[in-house]
């Protein structure tokens, strides 16, 4: 694409900026810090404007922006942030796909939905924030932002099969965390 | 001898592997075919373990959507983005 300056501004105003709310919330859930989230969102929007010619007008701007934000976070932001990643994600994924992990998940199968509903926002936030970042991203994109598997596959640069397995593991872990809170709060019997 | 109802109850309180969690996810994520959805919906009505599983998944999604604090982007962020874009545009 080659847009005129006027078109660039129009696309930016009409198709990019309306996603600011979702972008800021996504950035906050990744960085867990309001100032860092602001920097990340600003950085993403500047990149988006700079590369706006690679965006096809009228296509999925939200997914396009989320992809830039996620890549900025992984490639640039996390390197200089306080919490450097020391985790080999391939290794993490292999572990979470293992049999050993499945038995851990089964322990949470007694979680009851009424107990889950009694949890408050803080506990939900702590549970999701404590997930390893790739799993946290999967839950946010699917369950909070409502992206399809295909959109997630493009945002994350992974095949749809990996989207499915990552979601599966992320949900198992989240259930485990929520179950811990529900137990602590006395909503569930300690097993 | 067991009554028919008791027999049904006994079967249905056993762990059920008939519809795997993966299928439930596919349906709840809106990625299943209509046929798949109808088939599982029909099953869930009759199978307690599957219903509980489904119910739990639905309630976790509600929790994520409704109880997680939604942050409002600060005005200075919006202003800074507009200002920088105006400079490079």
Rounded to the nearest integer, the mean pLDDT of chain B is 82
Is B86 within 8 Å of chain A by CB? Answer: no
Closest CA to A48 of A9, A87, A75: A9
Q: Does B75 touch chain A (CB under 8 A)?
A: no
Q: How confident is residue B1, by pLDDT bands cut at 50, 70 and 90?
A: very low
pLDDT by position in tens, chain A (length 191): 889 999 999 999 999 999 999 999 999 999 999 999 999 999 999 999 999 999 999 899 999 999 999 999 998 777 665 554 445 555 555 555 555 555 444 445 556 667 676 777 788 899 999 999 999 999 999 999 999 999 999 999 999 999 999 999 999 999 988 887 777 766 665 54
Interface contact B73-A20, CB threshold 8 A: yes
Residue B63 is nearest to which of A12, A38, A116, comparing CB atoms? A116
For residue range B68-80, what is the model confidence (pLDDT) as tens digits? 889 999 999 999 9
Q: Tell whether the model's pLDDT for residue B88 goes beyond 90.
A: no
Q: Choose among A9, A28, A164: nearest Cβ to B89.
A: A9
Alpha-carbon gap, residue A55 to A44, rounded angstroms: 14
Is the model's pLDDT at B59 over the cut of 90?
no
- Please write the tens of the pLDDT for every residue from B36-52: 899 889 988 888 888 88
The CA R_g of chain B, rounded to the nearest whole Å, is 23
Give the pLDDT confidence score for residue A77 in this predicted structure: 73
The reply to whether residue A20 touches residue B52, judged by beta carbons under 8 angstroms, is no
Closest CA to A152 of A163, A144, A140: A163
Cβ <8 Å between A116 and B59: yes
Contact present, A111 and A175 (Cβ < 8 Å): yes
Q: Give B9 to chain A, closest Cα distance, Å.
A: 19
**Encoded tokens for B25:** 């996810």
Residue B67 near residue A124, CB atoms below 8 Å: yes
For B74, the closest of A38, A45, A167 (CB atoms) is A38
Does residue B9 carry a pLDDT above 50?
A: no
In terms of Cα–Cα distance, which of B80, B19, B22 is closest to B49? B19
**For residue B71, what is the nearest residue in chain A, using CA coordinates?**
A25
Taking Cα atoms as reference points, which of A173, A170, A174, A176 lies closest to residue A108?
A176
More confident residue, B4 or A48: A48
Cβ neighbours of A23 in B, within 8 Å: 73
ipTM of the complex: 0.78
Tell me how close the Cα of B1 comes to any Cα of chain A, in angstroms.
31
Distance of CA A172 to the CA centre of its chain: 16
pLDDT recorded at residue B7: 47
For residue B20, what are the contacts with CB-CB under 8 A and spacing of at least 6?
A: none
The residue in chain B having the minimum alpha-carbon distance to the alpha carbon of residue A122 is B68
CB pair distance less than 8 Å for B60 and A174: yes
């Amino acid at each position: 694409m080659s847009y005129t300056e006027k078109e660039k501004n129009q696309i930016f105003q009409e198709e990019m900026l309306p996603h600011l709310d979702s972008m800021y919330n996504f950035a906050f859930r990744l960085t867990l810090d309001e100032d860092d989230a602001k920097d990340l969102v600003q950085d993403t929007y500047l990149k988006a404007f700079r590369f706006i010619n690679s965006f096809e007008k009228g296509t999925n701007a939200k997914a396009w922006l989320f992809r830039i934000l996620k890549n900025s976070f992984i490639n640039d932001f996390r390197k200089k942030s306080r919490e450097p990643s020391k985790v080999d994600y391939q290794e993490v994924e292999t572990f979470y796909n293992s049999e050993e992990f499945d038995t851990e998940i089964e322990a949470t199968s007694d979680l009851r939905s009424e107990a889950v509903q009694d949890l408050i926002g803080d506990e939900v936030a702590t549970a999701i924030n404590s997930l390893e970042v790739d799993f946290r991203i999967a839950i946010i994109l699917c369950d909070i932002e409502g992206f399809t598997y295909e959109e997630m596959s493009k945002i994350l640069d992974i095949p749809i099969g990996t989207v499915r397995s990552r979601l599966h593991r992320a949900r198992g872990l989240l259930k485990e965390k929520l179950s811990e809170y529900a137990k602590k709060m006395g909503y569930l019997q300690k097993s | 001898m067991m009554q028919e109802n008791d027999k049904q109850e006994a079967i249905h309180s056993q762990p059920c592997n008939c519809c795997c969690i993966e299928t439930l996810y596919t349906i709840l994520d809106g990625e299943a075919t209509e046929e798949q959805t109808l088939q599982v919906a029909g099953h869930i009505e009759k199978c307690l373990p599957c219903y509980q599983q489904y119910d739990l998944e639905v309630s976790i999604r509600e929790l994520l959507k409704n109880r997680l604090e939604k942050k409002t982007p600060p005005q200075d962020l919006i202003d800074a983005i507009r200002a920088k874009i105006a400079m490079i545009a």
